[in-house]
Structure 1
Amino acid sequence: MKDGDENEQVRELQARLRQLDYFDRAPTGFYGSITAKAVSGFQKKRGLPETGSVDGATWQRLLGMTKKPTADELKPSTTNKLDTPDARCMTGRVLCISKESRTLAWMIDGRVVSSMDVRFGSENTPTREGIFSVGWKAKEWTSTIYHTPMPYAMFFSGGQAVHYSADFAARGYNGASHGCVNVRDRAKLSALFDQVKVGDKVVVHW
């Protein structure tokens, strides 16, 4: 396993690293810089080559020191831990969205006002990355392409929007969006929807 991988084995890796206090957040199944750093830390402590990638020796050593993760360990209901905010999120009113930690942070002048878990599009319908702005909002909306409800939608790039997803609330990271940024906490998003204004900045980053 290495940087850029995304699968259930990565999720198991993260859960096992979490058992040993190397990975301090809910498993996401995505192998990014945070996971690589955790793997390097584990490798260093065990005298293994510090590659940040998982080879056979690293995996076997980890298996020997940990137990098979439970369903709750693999997909806990707790809120994902925020990354250090992207530099582009530090000024003004910003929806700061991290693909690696799978979080949305509502920030004003560099301060996190609220945060929530999010999920993104699949490989076939990826969520675009970059700097955008909220073009328009709709408290009640149904996708004209996929005919699915999109409550509390805040559109930032064409048809891509931040919105509540009942599917995300029910299935978690077993599913994916069609490119939108899904939120599973309806109450948090409802409060955020009332605060965000058309024109506010949106930053989607790794």
Structure 2
Amino acid sequence: MPRTSALCRGLTATAVLAVSVGCTVQPGVDGSPPDAKPGGVSPLGVSIGPAPDPATSSPEPVATPSSPAAGRTYSSAPAPTPPRTSAPPPAPRPSPSAPKPATLMAVGVQSDQVRELQARLRQIGHFDRSPTGYYGSVTASAVSSFQGKRGLPRTGTTDTVTWQRLLGMTEQPTRDELRPPTEKPVAKPDPRCLKGRVMCISKKSSTLAWMVNGEVKSAMDVRFGSEYTPTREGVFSVGWKSRDHVSTLYDSPMPYAMFFSGGQAVHYSSDFAARGYEGASHGCVNVRDEKKVAALFDEVRTGDKVVIYW
């Protein structure tokens, strides 16, 4: 018994010393029995914990300081990121205004280009008469109609955009399209005009066709008397001719007059050439084109037929 007590006291002293110096007790080195098994109970009755397995154990995580300042603090999660705010989109820059198309033709212009414009408009049904080369209210109305149907501003003037659109839809006018014999299409001849030499005059189309045995030799624009002095209708014949005639009743010149009924005659009218269909005769058949009526005067003979009809 005394030996056992001494041994216990020695072991106790050894254990106290190990704890005091911060060491661990290792079997077979620090005086523990060599036959002690890890995790078991030593013969002395001391419980020994299992030894750590270096293959499976991992070192205990060590916190790292978030800043080296005194009074270190440790963070296990990153600091929250402030929410992003999207910058407002840049204001759109004003687009430069497109230049206005240049005006090529307008009311009051008279030129061959206006004549071509009228011929092209006539090809697609916007101009219902022969080209004259003068840009008047009728031409402006036709241009406005064309612009409206093509989604263009209805200005009535022909600018570069209108002109290019018209060129793309039409063909180059022929000589007859540019300079037809009459402003309006020549009417279908009356059956009474199909035989012999006839001045075939239509009030509906305001045209005179000089015909020989059913063939049209020439045609020209004409106008008639007003409602108070109407031009007679029917079949007549040329009674006499006067190249430089002057009316004794109205004191007005009647060049190249070919009388067919009393004082009514076919002749050139300078008023018709200047004013067009805004005026009227005193019952005669006025011709606008002086060259054409002069040539007709040389062709017509006394006794040739004159047919006037609707």
- TM-score category (smaller protein): 0.5 to 0.7
Whole-angstrom CA distance in 2 between matches of 1:65 and 1:129: 41
Whole-angstrom CA distance in 1 between matches of 2:122 and 2:227: 27
Q: Which residue of 1 aligns with 2:233?
A: 129
Matches within 5 A, 1:118-197: 118-197=222-301
Cα 1:69–1:88 change in 2 (3 A) is farther
2:203 counterpart of 1:99? yes
Structure 1 alignment gaps of length 5 or more: 1-16, 28-63, 71-76
For these two proteins, the number of residue pairs brought into alignment is 152
Whole-angstrom CA distance in 2 between matches of 1:144 and 1:106: 28
Q: Is the partner of 2:192 in helix, strand or coil?
A: helix
Whole-angstrom CA distance in 2 between matches of 1:109 and 1:68: 48
Q: Where in structure 1 do 4 or more consecutive aligned residues deviate above 3 Å?
A: 17-20, 22-27, 64-70
The higher radius of gyration belongs to 2
Whole-angstrom CA distance in 1 between matches of 2:188 and 2:228: 28
2:308 counterpart of 1:204? yes
Whole-angstrom CA distance in 2 between matches of 1:172 and 1:119: 9
Cα 1:69–1:98 change in 2 (3 A) is farther
Deviation at 1:144, TM superposition (A): 1.4
Whole-angstrom CA distance in 2 between matches of 1:88 and 1:69: 43
- Which deviations, in whole Å up to 9, do the C-alpha atoms of 1:5-44 show, x marking residues without a partner? xxxxxxxxxxxx96962874359xxxxxxxxxxxxxxxxx
| TM-score, with structure 1 as normaliser | 0.66
Q: What is the CA RMSD across the aligned residues, in angstroms?
A: 2.8
Q: Which residue of 2 aligns with 1:88?
A: 192
Cα 1:68–1:184 change in 2 (3 A) is farther
Greater RCO, 1 or 2 (C-alpha within 8 Å, sep 6+): 1
| TM-score, with structure 2 as normaliser | 0.44
Whole-angstrom CA distance in 2 between matches of 1:26 and 1:92: 28
Deviation at 1:184, TM superposition (A): 1.1
Structure 2 alignment gaps of length 5 or more: 1-120, 132-147, 158-178
Whole-angstrom CA distance in 2 between matches of 1:157 and 1:200: 13
Q: Which residue of 2 aligns with 1:117?
A: 221
Give the percent of matched residue pairs that are identical in Structure 1 and Structure 2: 68
Q: Is the partner of 2:247 in helix, strand or coil?
A: coil
Q: Is the partner of 1:124 in helix, strand or coil?
A: coil
Whole-angstrom CA distance in 2 between matches of 1:156 and 1:132: 6
